[in-house]
Amino acid sequence: MKLLSLELLKLKKKTRSWLGPILVFWLIMIAYPLTIEVSSESMEIGFFSVLWISILLSMMFATEDIFTEDYNDGSLEQTLINETSFAYQVGAKVLIHWLLIGIPISILSFIFSLGTTGDMVLSFLILPFAIMSSYIFLNLFVLGNALSLNKGSVLGAIITLPLTLPILIVLGKSITAIQLDINYLGFIFLLLGSLSIIIVSVPLIVSYIIRAHLE
């Protein structure tokens, strides 16, 4: 708990780091209607694609400098020799990022979905998909940033984006299932299964990767 509050304090102090991705998401969602003819029918056509890609991009920005500062000031090395497991600390870092960035973005997704489609049920169903996908994307980009530590976030994005594409495919298919009123629960369980594997494995892998960087 102490670790979580410490991470929360660190992230809250860096306003740009948590507010920036939320604003990016907001701006993309506002920009979307400006690029097409404003009629509810045409708005709905590409809305969900834009929504998932906005979440993806926001999560990419959210993790841009997740380890950079700690790496540059040497505190990452100190964290490694700390008594608390490093994987646990990585997990806590990701969780705090998700709580401060992922959850607000998921709520905004619901609001934008309601505003665009006017369908309360559909918009409520979007919420679990947004919550889970944001956490999955966050974990994957943390992995990419750990791999490309001190080499810039572009490399991290290049190597991580292919891993996020299966999730985007599942998200796209789930929207089709919801709209056609066929079984969409399978997609929720699929994402939940992926998330549970990722939550456990990514912090462990990231801790090994960072060790490799600092050795």
Name which of 103 and 195 has its Cβ closer to another protein.
195
H, E, C per residue of 52-97 = HHHHHHHHHHHCCCCCHHHHHCCHHHHHHCCCCCHHHHHHHHHHHH
Count of residues touching another protein (by CB under 8 A): 20
Name which of 8 and 161 has its Cβ closer to another protein.
161
Residue 173 binding another protein, by CB under 8 A = yes
| Shortest CB 138 distance to another protein, Å | 15
| Shortest CB 21 distance to another protein, Å | 23
Rounded to the nearest 10 degrees, what angle do helices 103-117 and 120-147 cross at?
Answer: 140
| Shortest CB 63 distance to another protein, Å | 16
Binding mask 71-110 toward another protein (x if CB under 8 A, else -) reads ----------------------------------------
Name which of 191 and 209 has its Cβ closer to another protein.
209
CA distance 106 to 103: 5
SS3 16: helix
Burial of 57 (0-12, 13-18, 19+ CB in 10 A): middle
For another protein, the binding residue among 8, 57, 159, 188 (CB under 8 A) is: 159
Long-range contacts of residues 27-30, Cβ cutoff 8 Å, at least 24 apart: 28/53, 28/54, 28/57, 29/54, 29/108, 29/112
Specify the amino acid at residue 23.
Answer: L
For another protein, the binding residue among 155, 177, 188, 195 (CB under 8 A) is: 155
Residues near another protein (CB under 8 A) are 143, 147-148, 151, 155, 158-159, 161-163, 165-166, 169, 173, 205, 208-209, 212-213, 215
